[in-house]
Chain A
Amino acid sequence: MRDKQNPQLNRNGELTHLLSIEGLPREILTRILDTAAPFSEVSEREVKKVPLLRGKSVFNLFFENSTRTRTTFEIAAKRLSADVINLNINTSSANKGETLLDTADNLAAMQADMFIVRHASSGAPHLIAQHLGVAGHDHIHVINAGDGRHAHPTQGLLDMYTIRHYKKNFTQLSVAIVGDVLHSRVARSQIHALTTLGVPDLRVIAPKTLLPTGIERLGVKVFNDMREGLRGVDVVMMLRLQSERMQGALLPSTQEFFKSYGLTPDKLALAKPDAIVMHPGPMNRGVEIDSAVADGGQAVILPQVTFGIAVRMAVMAMLAGST
């Protein structure tokens, strides 16, 4: 039974950790998106706070730096009235030799209620969640805030919220994911979410050197020619070129990449006239996206950031309320 195997669901079938979008049924994804809608209104109030997580301690465990992601989780937790403790572990205990699980045990001993985990290694949040269960701390919820090349589920979910906000229905859409798919945990989460939600035409556009082998098996059509791939799409999801993760010569140069795979107004003109342009940030202007597009009328990149707070609030409230 799925409920027994999926480590993200408790015995009542409720979401208790968010580790990956892969394996989550459509009903749960839809429920998260539905729950996020009322939370987005909270951020527009005079008092941008609701008391759901009052008295709870949320630990941001960032074994890999990411000021932006950490900040959005921090804001989301604070708007739920939680106490937030930020730990940049690459600059602390890990350097002194403490293991991942020792760190988790120590924080559990401090009566933590939720861990937001960012780690350079795929599977680290899963390992922590599993360990907490074995160690009798299964009241502590774990959210994966990006692990290696594996998953970044809240980014995938906020992207789905954004698409649903502008396009209403997933089941008639053409969606293109463009750029550095190879290094992108965001792309994996997006692909799992989009296929689960029933997008019939899902494309990835990238040079062969930036595509993982066997990506077609996830249910996507691969295009190496960006102009061909963008034809008639409703949604263009750009990815950040992750130069910092590239070892060796995957690309001739960023200028060359921009020429072939940068989203420019003339390439965007091949998509549907009402197509939206998304980017998970931070953007490399002039590398994967032209400023004229990034700042243009079809870009929904800043709304993505705003929706991200509501989606993270919804996920935290659902996890902390699972019984």
Chain B
Amino acid sequence: MPKSLPDAEKLCTDLADAMRAHVDPAKTALVGIHTGGVWVAEKLHAALGLKIPAGSMDVSFYRDDYHQRGLHNNAKTSQIPFEVEGAHIVIVDDVLFTGRTIRAAMNELFDYGRPARIGLAVLADRSGRELPVAATFCPHSLSLPDTQMLALERAGDGKLSFRLVDRDKPAEPGEAIADTESGDGGRK
């Protein structure tokens, strides 16, 4: 376990800096994954001065653990306010873990159209991949035991911070999309 958690606000700045040379403000569209990814996407959108409004996705209807765990409580409405066909999209999430959320997100995006390109931006990679998924932009890597989740939180003033949360029970390999680590950690 790391002695101190990374500073989420600083990681947002670092992530924006890493992306700047690779995005076209008139062409690049962000899609944040609920809930933490939406917060990060808002910050990146402002920092990068993007013109296309950011979208948001709740991948509950595409999760691969529905038959084990049922429908996610409080599923949110996905909103993609731009034409996906031919778009240059960067999916934004807070933490990359198993890769299952990202697979679900890509499947969902393709139901809106065929993007020209999809990238992935995350604040942190906590390792533990179960699928061949890699971030395009990621300013921080760390290693955590399976029993812990790295949860992004947002304070009343909009400031983001990380917190370590013990999982109710350790995940069995391949069991869950566990890298939606904000809020309830993507679990029921």
Contact = CB atoms under 8 A, between A and B. Distances in A.
Interface centre among B60, B61, B68 (most CB of A within 10 A): B61
23 contacts: A31-B73, A38-B58, A38-B60, A38-B61, A38-B77, A38-B78, A40-B77, A41-B78, A41-B79, A42-B61, A46-B111, A46-B113, A50-B62, A50-B108, A51-B61, A51-B62, A51-B107, A52-B66, A52-B71, A317-B61, A321-B67, A321-B70, A323-B68
A317 B84 CA distance: 26
Interface of A: 14, 31, 34-35, 37-42, 45-47, 49-52, 317-318, 321-323
Contacts of A47: 110-112
Contacts, number: 53
Contact of A318 (B71, B85, B111): B71
Contacts of A40: 77
A243 to B, nearest CB: 40
B16 to A, nearest CB: 29
Given A46-B112, A49-B111, A51-B107, A41 B69 contact: no
A98 to B, nearest CB: 32
Contacts of A37: 77
Contacts of A35: 71, 75
Interface string B88-117: 000000000000000000011011110000
B70 A322 contact: yes
B33 to A, nearest CB: 14
Contacts of A323: 68-70
Interface in B8-50: none
Contacts of B74: 34
